[in-house]
Structure 1
Amino acid sequence: MHSEHPLFQEDSNTWIHGLTTSSRLSALTQEMFDVFWILTPAGGMQAISSSWQTLPDQQDFAYPGRGWLDAVHPMDRQQGEDALHEAIDSGHTSELVCHIRSDDNSYHLVHLRFIPVREASGTINEVLACGNNLTRQMQTEQMSEAQVQLALKASGVGMWDWNLLTDELIWTDQKRALFGLSPEIPISDERFLETLHPDDRERTHQRNMQAIAEKKEYNKDYRTIWPDGSVHWLTDRAQVICDETGKPTRVVGATLDITELKHKEEELQEAKDEVTTILESITDAFLCLDSQWRYSYLNQRMETYLGKKREEVLGKEMWKVVPMLLGTIFEDRYRTAMATQQATHFEAFHPAFQRWVETYVYPQPDGLSIYFHDISERKQIEEALRESEARFRLLMESNIIGIITTDRNGNILEANAAFLSLLGYTQEDLATGQMKWDIITTPQTRARDTETIEEALRTGVAQPYEIEYLTKSGKRVPALIGRALFRREGSPPLFLCFVLDQTYRKEAEKQKDLFLGITGHELRTPLAALRGTLQLIERRLRRFINKTDNLTPEMVSFFEGIQKNLANGVRQVDVQTRLINDLLDVSRITSGTLKLSLQRCDLVPIIRETVEDLRLVTPERQLLLELPEDTPVNVLVDQNRISQVITNYVTNAIRYSSSDQPVHIGLAVQENMARVWVRDHGPGLSKEAQEKVWRCFHQVKEVPVQSGSEKGLGLGLYICQILIEQHHGEVDVESTPGKGSTFWFSLPLTNENE
């Protein structure tokens, strides 16, 4: 193989210009050109570079010779020889663009230069062939542009260029994509403004004009509306470019989609607004301090507590705004929390707020957040509770009434001397567990105890009820007990019970019942005799009138007047008898001695017979019956008591309705109940009167008596209610003012086997 030229072979024997000069020239040539070699004037290769061997893969071609032409495309070989000859003939560099084969058998476009090398004598002995690979440069440039476009696309940045002289606007494809526009749509400043949200167009246009006038870099945010109607936030960063005279000629810029960022900002602002709204709406005070003890935030309630607007205190040191906190528990706890970064919680009277507050202190990296909950009312309640407990303790120790504290199982935890004395026990007995609830109460009252405990758990109090206690000696003691629920924090529910000894009251009731019984008997006996006497006189007078034929009209009128007075006397006796019976019934009801004589019977005859008796007493009134025909209605009742109820209903209907209006009495069977009703055409009752009419001794004052006797004692309907309830039935009234009333009661039906 031909030896390398001394330009590339530093140890060659043919050293032309010296080692240093040759090495420098070799390095410079290899750095400047992609490929080069040295030719003789005849075109033979005298020396080659390593890049020549790499590019056309010509290392197998022999030296010297014209092997380099084999690597040139056949169509370019003649041009290559012509360029070589031109350089030799003219003594100047000639240029040629030709295709040289690469190692993969593809051809690269190479820019060749043939540079003649003259000796000192002026003779051209060598030609330096240097070339640059244009194909590789173009590939590199294309790759660089592609990489830029790829980077821009990946980053989402759209580029634009606005020629202010021609008003031409150039957008990259990525810029168009940010506006939802396809590449073929023409772009102008007017079209750009049309794509913007109506609220942003004028502002954006003015921003552009201002930046051009000021000749500076600028930013702007705006919204664009895509063809599909969606709204997107974009931001522009642009630079105004001026010519040598300072006149703006172009604006170039970059556009980025910030929709997600704007949404995040909106969400963050909404969250901040929500937090602010919460802090402003809470009923408690809240403030924030920075690390220098300066106010950075306070809500409206805090303004109220301080008596200052937030503008007056924000940025000011707390110790100067409220110096009265110095030396208090508030200063101590605040400084400790700030130093240790540990949250704290305490209760204290705030000297600036002039109220008790529950204070929560939360350290933050840049200060403290402090929350105040007003507990003044709670403190007042606690103080009132302490005073109440002291008064209760005084009452308990006064032993006026029996007072005990129990748990939900009835176990007595505390008892005063009055209660212990009532049952014959001592405090030692209570302490040693001898006063268990199942020992001091009877089985008959324990179910009632359970009910009242549940009632107190639901409502806080239980209605007082009568109970019988068993004393230590086994004697039964009647008492009235009431329960109230109270709770101790962290403890199970407890009950405070007030116990009243009913021994003397029960004895008084017994004496009263005895008195009423004797009095009732003593009163009814003469009334019965008086009634019999009046009836006897009335019958004899009627017989005398019938047997005497020669009575003058004056005598007939006189005797009829006597008969009328006798009948009135009988009715008054009946009224008094009924009143006495009502009083006795009420006495029996209150004492629990009212007895019923229950028998299975048909209700229809009871109603019919009672109404017939009333027709005899009040022949002037029309009593209309509506009873089922040939259908027995079997019930288990005390016939006399049911007749008493019907009589009371009908008597009231007669009393409170006009004498020319009928009274209707009926019976209906509904499922398993028999319902008896009495309807009148009186003035009716209001809703309030309907609720009160069943009370003992209640009289409806706004409803006047229209016929018959005056009002009674207000016991009749009360007794009727009790009697029907003891028959396991119900009573009620249906009435509309001005349209009469219907009183009814119901009784459970029985079958023949009962």
Structure 2
Amino acid sequence: MVPGSTRNPSDYGPVDVDDVGGAAPIHVLHVDDDPARVRLSETFLDEHIDDVKVSTDTDPYEALERLDDLDVDCIVSDFDMGAMDGLEFLESVRERRPDLPFILFTGKGSEDIASEAISAGVSEYLQKGGGPEKYALLANRIDNVVSQYRAERAAERYQERVNTVYERVTDAFFALDADWQFTFVNEHGRELLDREKGELLGKNVWEEFPAALNSQFEDEYREAMVTQEATTFEAYYPPLDTLFEVHAYPSEEGLSVFFRDATDENRIRRELHREKELLERVLETSPVGIVVADSEGELVRANQRALDLLGLTEEEVKNRTYDSSEWQLTDEEGRPIPDEDYPFSDVFERGVSKTDVRVGYDGPDGEWSLLTVSAAPIHSADGDLERVVFSVEDVTEVRERQQELEAENERLEEFARTVAHELRNPLDIAGVRVDLERRERDAEHLEEAAVALGRMEDIIADLLALAEQGKVVDDPEPVPLERAFENAWSTAGTGAAYELADDLPTVLADESRLRELFENLIGNAVTHAGEDATVRLLPTEDGFAVEDDGPGIPASERERIFETGFSTAEGGSGFGLSIVERIAEAHGWTVDATEADDGGARFEVGDVQFVEE
């Protein structure tokens, strides 16, 4: 057999010049609520772009209605357009024309708008101003994005034509007679051999393709003719720099040869081999234990980390199933897990994944450890279960540390309760004595003493709250932020006002502690901003924020305001914001003090888990 040539892409037909830009006029839709601005764009764009058509609109809603009927190459849009801003307009455009170039050309420039525009997927962001040269720059940007857009569309259309041809292709074929002369070559064979049919028919294969002599091609063909047995092989033909897959069928009359270009397949096989080697290295060096089971639950593979965690050899693992009675599994408290509660049965029976399941494991050395196990099924293209992959991590030390922290918190609570008890008794007595004395005579120092005693009572209450709020929240529930805030406000006893954003989410939290977090932030706002303040609750990207319109927090003090006992208000206990921080940390949240847009104080709570409604 003689190998064939690769096919030239030009065989699939010429490329339309208009497909890659240049020949067709550039059609621009400019949307700006300033009529004078769009008139300027028509003038200057026509001056700087050789062949351009500019359509304009001062209303983004009308522009959207026209978009389906306009064959535009690019949209240029202002940002501030009244009822719909430029980014909202972009979002509506993307719903209709996902890939259409979109340039935000705005006089309202800021780093925030630029960042948001880029994140939203604008093709270019350009600020107005600067005179006619700004329109020259705009024209250049339009030309660039349209050229790229048209080139991409042309490439897609060209690829579609190529794919259509490939869908009709069958194997290349030629036939040789007993004298090794070509008797037939199909069209695909002609292409792969890079020769015209008339050049080959009736000609000797070894004379037309001399590089095939003394090669695997000659050896295989001659052996097939001698033995009269079919042969299949892969061989490389240097003149065409191509690897061919060949199927040759001999007869007394000659040889029938089916062949195809296998160069890419061989490359893919090499790449797959490299990928397999990479996965093997990742598997063996992973800090996480990996165990693989087949569809019947028999364990077929375990990496070294898994063997170390389980205290078994690879052979011992492979002799077990995922639910073998040899596994000594318990719950987190060390109690044996009944068969009916086995945590991974659903993975095999229903094809569902399991994540971060904690089980106790009695190893062969008698040591008990706490493991976190996740299991994920792998299905075939037909949806049949093929494999289940388990990941195993030892969290014994993590659990022990958690228990130590819980014990430490309990000790702190007990200490706080003891201190509160020991202080409250004498304070109660002192308070009664002061009250009796005030009844007998009116003295200014007695009034101050009563205030001081009340202040000490508040400090004790705050101390108890601070100790209580450090407990980790381990069973959060969905809580609407609006409800928790309004419940907190109802007990604030303030004449201040509050505002709630429209799109406040529902979060996972301990509702009573979230309410107390809001109570302390509200109290802090009223204390520092006054009774005529307005307190606002707003959503953020990863949580929520509470801000006021008061004097704000000096930058030099923002690092200290969460310290226990630190207060900038006269008579303040310095516990309120410490309690806020403890509640946030107990939920796994972060809390930061910053500045509101109007200069007031702003507290941002992040890393909050939202609940999809």
Question: TM-score, with normalisation over the residues of structure 2?
Answer: 0.42
* Bigger radius of gyration: 1
Which gives a bigger RCO, structure 1 or 2 (Cα 8 Å, sep 6+)? Answer: 2
